[in-house]
Copies of this chain bind each other. A is one copy, B any other.
Amino acid sequence: MTVVKSDIEIARHAAKKPVVEIGAKIGIPPEHLAPYGYDKAKLSAEFIRSKRGDRNGKLILVTAVSPTPAGEGKTTTTVGLGDGLNRVGKKAIVCIREASLGPCFGTKGGAAGGGYAQVIPMEDINLHFTGDFHAITAAHNLLAAMIDNHVYWGNELNLDTRRITWRRVMDMNDRALRDIATSLGGVANGFPRESGFDITVASEVMAILCLATDLADLEQRLGEIIIGYRFNKTPVYARDLQADKAMAVLLKDAMQPNLVQTLENNPAFVHGGPFANIAHGCNSVVATTTALKLADYVVTEAGFGADLGAEKFFDIKCRKAGLKPAAAVIVATVRAMKMHGGIAREDLGRENISAVKAGCANLGRHMENVRQFGVPVVVAINHFTADTQGEIDALKAFVAAHGAEAVLCRHWAEGSAGIEELAHKVVALAESGSGQFSPLYEDELPLFDKIETIVKRIYRGAEADADSSVRDQLRQWEDAGYGNLPVCMAKTQYSFSTNPHLRGAPVNHVVHVREVRLAAGAGFVVAICGEIMTMPGLPKSPSAERIHLNEDGLIEGLF
């Protein structure tokens, strides 16, 4: 059962079907699918509207233990479970995020799954795809250009140029753009000031697109973006610059979910991809809510581990979109458990049952956390060839002792055949009706109390800590009417604490909130705990040096 083919080789040899046939499987007429080539299509707004009254299928969240360098395979499991559910006779749609182009030229592998659990065409999905991210980049930067243009022509709004918070974005790993001085070179180029670029996925426009329910809601939210402050400290909105409507024009097509297929020709919506630290890290609400109208089961994922990804999925996306997840799958691997149990990466090849047992503390806490939201869990052990039976048994025993089941999954090597058991368990769990979803905190809770609730109940820290300036800022936003927003925690994904090296299940740590930001258009308050990088750099030998077209014009070196 040795799989030697690379992801791209497997993807290239897939028996791909025309995307209209994939759409037909879930009742989408061809006239409501705008094709992008023969294997990608955008779903029409009209069709989406026509389905509003229909009943919903069941929503399954795939989340994971705290990530380790060993890799957990969350997207791979999401895609595999979608195929598995179809295999056991359920109509299922996979909903995942789009990939950011820039990081593909650094070190990142593909974001379309792996092995025999992938969405295709994976080269397109990882590069330009249907142009959504380019549209977001353009909309974001149009607003930026209009801000400096407003100042240039007299600054009627009385913007304090030192307090312009709206930066520019680019879908590229380019550290040289993190901090820049703009409008140099003389009078014709405007008033010099400091600014910078973030990567496109960190744009508030991305978060807005992923939370908006339709084009009208999108436009409304774009108008509510705060781009900076006047000399009197009052906020200036995108609407004040009359930028919101033109931005919506640029995002018109990007708002429509993209339909593609898995290697097994099952439908997948790949749409939106906000950062999982300063944003909520989930695919679009439009894609998820539409998929729920078309299928018995919708399998989706959230970024990072369950402490960050699942918490935001529940407290931001589900809260805002009125979603009720029926069950959650927590992906764990024997390797990750060993790392959480204190084993170094280079020693992962050796059996170590006691390390697995020790590392399970991390998994156990994520299980408890997800259950706090009233969502029943099942654990997927994403199988790696070096895993030993003793290690697998230890992991299963731990989960069983904590009142759930862990299922060994071989979808990476075998596709849906390797994940049938998990599919059956998920169906049983979802149909048991044991799910009673509710968010972790009420809308009415003060902002700092929301942060503290997450710190104590999810991260199991002793307390949330912040300077008085941060607390004052939160109170000001409460006074301005933003107190009912959920909070979006920006914290290292590698630990429950703010120390990325503290694996396992640390307790009693203090979580320091360094800075808070208001994403008024997206509708959340970002709490930044530790250093968060919003513009990556390239490594010394970036993969761009190896990415090329082969003699047949096919892309090589991307993964």
Instruction: Tell me the A residues contacting B by CB distance below 8 Å.
Output: 34-38, 45, 101, 105, 127-128, 131, 134-135, 137-138, 141-142, 144-146, 148-149, 152-154, 168, 170-186, 188-190, 194, 196, 215, 219, 242-243, 245-246, 248-250, 252-253, 537-538, 540, 542, 544-549, 553, 555, 558
A137 contact set on B, CB distance < 8 A: 134
Task: For A545, give the chain B residue with the smallest CB separation.
Answer: B242
Given contacts A34-B38, A219-B549, contact A542 B249 (CB under 8 A): no
Number of identical protomers: 2
A555 contact set on B, CB distance < 8 A: 249, 252
A190 contact set on B, CB distance < 8 A: 175-176
Task: For A42, give the chain B residue with the smallest CB separation.
Answer: B37
Given contacts A544-B243, A545-B242, A555-B252, contact A175 B149 (CB under 8 A): yes
Bound CA span A138–B546, Å: 17
| Main DSSP-derived SS at the A contact region | mixed
Task: For A188, give the chain B residue with the smallest CB separation.
Answer: B175
Q: How far is the CB of A138 from chain B (nearest CB, A)?
A: 6
Bound CA span A174–B150, Å: 11
Task: For A551, give the chain B residue with the smallest CB separation.
Answer: B216
A549 contact set on B, CB distance < 8 A: 215, 219, 245, 248-249, 252
Given contacts A128-B131, A246-B105, A249-B127, contact A142 B184 (CB under 8 A): no
The reply to whether A176 and B171 form a contact with Cβ atoms under 8 Å apart is: no
Task: For A124, give the chain B residue with the smallest CB separation.
Answer: B253
Bound CA span A131–B42, Å: 15
Query: What are 24 contact pairs spanning A and B, CB under 8 A?
Result: A35-B37, A45-B553, A105-B142, A128-B131, A128-B135, A134-B134, A142-B172, A145-B176, A145-B538, A146-B538, A149-B537, A149-B542, A152-B175, A170-B170, A175-B189, A176-B183, A180-B181, A184-B194, A215-B549, A242-B544, A245-B548, A246-B544, A249-B549, A252-B553
Bound CA span A190–B173, Å: 13
The reply to whether A148 and B176 form a contact with Cβ atoms under 8 Å apart is: yes
